[in-house]
Structure 1
C-alpha cells in the first residue's frame, strides 16, 4: 500500500511576512512533516497548486479530480485550504474506487502552535483505514466529506445536518 499526497496550498503551507498578515503559499511542508514523524509506509507527494482555497476555480477543482483519477494509488490525501475544502469534496464525491481524505490547518505548519501536523497525521491514518469515498480530517474528527461544513463563528468543522 502506498499513499499519494496531493498538495494544493492553503493555510498549511502559508508563509507570513509581516504584522499585516501579508502571506504567500510557500513550498509544501508535507514531505518534511511526514519524515519528521518517521512515517514508514510508502508515500508520494505531488504538488498540484499553490493557492489559497478562496482563489481556487472550477478548473482547479477539475485538475484535482483528474489527478485523483489518474493516480495509481488507491489511498489519497489532499492538503487544501479550509475555506472551500467542502466545495472540493463535493466535486470528488461519488468516487467509490479510492479513499480520498482532504486535510488542512487553521494555522500554518510553520507556526509552533499549528494544528497541521496533527491533522495531517489523522488524514494519513484515515486514508489507510477508511472505506472508499471522500473524507475530511480536521479538528480531531473524521467527517463524511459530503456532510460537513466549516463553522466560521467557532473556527472549526462540524457535521452538517
Structure 2
C-alpha cells in the first residue's frame, strides 16, 4: 500500500507570521497519524496544494505515480473541494487498482480527530476491500467515487446514489 500526500486542508498549519493557514511541503501530519499504527506504510509527498489550485497536470502526475508503482493499493490524502474531480479522473484510467481518496474538512492542527479518523478508516477499508476501484472516504463513509460527493451547503460528504 502506498499513501500519497497531496496536501489539502488535512495538512494545513497556521503560520503565525502571515496569520494564514498554509500547506507545508512535508508529511508531518500523515506521519503523526501513522505513528499510532502497528505497521509501516510507504508514504510519498506529492503536489502539496489546496485542491482548488490543483490542475490537470497535478492529476496526471498522481496517475503517473500510480501507474509506475509496484503497489496495487493507494490512499491519496487530498483536498475536499476537488476530490471528486480527481477521483473521476483516476477512475477513467484505472480499473486494476484500489484507490481511496480521503481528506478532512478541518486541518489536523485544528481538529486532529477528523483527519485521523478519515485516514484510519481509509487504511482499514484498503486492507479489507477486495474489489478494485476508486473510492472516497469522508465523514465515516467509504463509497465508490460515483456515489459520494461534498455537500457544500452542509460542509460534509454524503451519498448521492
Give the C-alpha shift of residue 38 in structure 1.
Answer: 2.6
1:122-133 → structure 2 map (5 Å cutoff)? 122-130=121-129, 131-133=131-133
1:104–1:147: structure 2 CA closer, same or farther, 3 Å change rule? same
Residue 37 of structure 2 corresponds to which residue in structure 1?
A: 38
* 1:63 aligned onto 2:61: yes
CA drift of 1:17 comes to: 3.0
Q: Which residue of 1 aligns with 2:116?
A: 117
Residue 148 of structure 1 deviates from its aligned partner by 1.8
**Change beyond 3 A, Cα 1:113–1:45:** closer
Which whole-Å CA distance do the structure 1 matches of 2:111 and 2:156 have between them? 19
TM-score (norm: length of structure 1) = 0.90
Structure 1 counterpart SS, 2:66:
helix
CA–CA distance in 1 between the matches of 2:3 and 2:123? 9
**Match of 2:57, SS?**
helix
* C-alpha distance 61-13 of structure 1, shift in aligned 2 (>3 A): same
- In 2, the alpha carbon distance for the partners of 1:21 and 1:102 equals 29
Cα distance in 1 for residues equivalent to 2:65 and 2:112: 31
> What TM-score, normalized by structure 2, do the two folds share?
0.90
Q: 1:77–1:123: 8 Å Cα contact kept in structure 2?
A: yes
Q: Deviations over 1:55-82 (max 9, x none)?
A: 0011101111111111111111000000
Contact 1:90 1:145 in 2 (8 A): yes
Note the C-alpha offset of 1:21: 6.2
Q: Provide the rounded CA distance (Å) in 2 between the counterparts of 1:90 and 1:21.
A: 34
**Aligned partners of 2:19, 2:148: CA distance in 1, in Å?**
28
CA distance in 2 between partners of 1:123 and 1:21 (Å): 32
Alignment RMSD (CA, Å) = 1.6
